[in-house]
Amino acid sequence: MAASASLLKSSPVLDKSEFLKGQALRQPSAVSVVRCQPVSSSSLTVRASSYADELVKTAKTVASPGRGILAMDESNATCGKRLASIGLENTEANRQAYRTLLVTAPGLGQYISGAILFEETLYQSTVDGKKIVDILVEQNIVPGIKVDKGLVPLAGSNNESWCQGLDGLASRSAAYYQQGARFAKWRTVVSIPNGPSALAVKEAAWGLARYAAISQDNGLVPIVEPEILLDGEHGIERTFEVSLKVWAEVFFYLAENNVLFEGILLKPSMVTPGAECKDKATPEQVADYTLRLLKRRIPPAVPGIMFLSGGQSEVEATLNLNAMNQAPNPWHVSFSYARALQNTCLKTWGGRPENVKAAQETLLIRAQANSLAQLGKYTGEGESEEAKKGMFVKGYVY
């Protein structure tokens, strides 16, 4: 890991004071305007956020070499399902104990650059009374926050969904910034078996773009996440075709909303066959299709592509990421995993205090494996059978 450490030292890093809790809300300066005078009399007005420099710095910090994102922003209901799988009741005390285990893993910041939190966690303290945000900052991990309000049925569609949460988002984002968050996440989904309809794709793209603009206006780097669900029997070509369409719409509306590309991060799905497809893809095939998609749709100005795992096994997600980093890319290609980092850790813990150390070591093993994959140096040697088990759940609700 010496090479990784040296890379980290040279990467752009936010000063910890820049995302400490309690920092006073910055008063936005006057809107800056850039005017172009073409031959015609019309003028193009581009609005620049007063947080622009900080947004770019935060995005580069999260997209630093050998590091990725720990997604631990499960809603209380979803966290309850995880706890139930190990026989624990869904109480705030149990959620607090598990999240404390995750953020206090020694040396986690060597492999993890950002942690996405649920609102409860952003304001929560550890079992020892220390604020979770402060623990993350000490680990050199940038705190992030899930800001969407979940999926609801999209009227007029083919049984598809849209993501709610734009109402009140500006004031909530300002409060999250004051609490110490420096990036945000908004997850919407696209279903291939259900179409996807043009309406659903446009709604997903527009919602992401409005959220991104509002987030940047309040100092938060937006993670843009249109998850193309694994559900279905379709082949990898169909996933590729739908992904091209979705990302074309997303970037069109990001531009329409004057979003600063250098101050966003993406959280796409990898291009894989549907989970129920008989023809499985190798890591090399997944990398080939996914990188072709990115090169056709994602501007080099975007600092980081932080892939979601979407129900892949822990090892599968790591192998696919490693295959994408076998040659230089225009962007930092990394991970933003939830289940693919936490699954074995959760089962090792089992809710028992005496297992905390062993569970943290399991988390660090997974984090280090994905750190190596980000650097293109993961081999897959010595992985447990548990880490190889798939985690796809049909109709999964996050």
Write out the catalytic residue numbers.
225, 267
Question: Do 240 and 200 touch, CB atoms closer than 8 A?
Answer: no
What tokens appear for 339 in the block? Answer: 């289940």
Q: How many residues does the chain have?
A: 398
Question: Do 268 and 336 touch, CB atoms closer than 8 A?
Answer: no
* DSSP count for the chain of H helices, then E strands: 13, 12
E strand or H helix that includes residue 163 = strand 161-163
Dist. CA 328–CA 180, nearest whole Å: 33
What tokens appear for 93 in the block? Answer: 């005390």
Question: Do 108 and 363 touch, CB atoms closer than 8 A?
Answer: yes
Residues contacting residue 232 through CB under 8 Å, at least 6 positions apart: 191, 192, 193, 274, 275, 276, 277
For residues 264, 290, 102, 392, the Cα torsion angle rounded to the nearest 10 degrees is: 130
Radius of gyration from C-alpha coordinates of the chain: 20
Q: What is the DSSP string of 30-76?
A: PPEEEEE--SSS--EEEEE-TTHHHHHHHHHHHT-TT-EEEEE---H
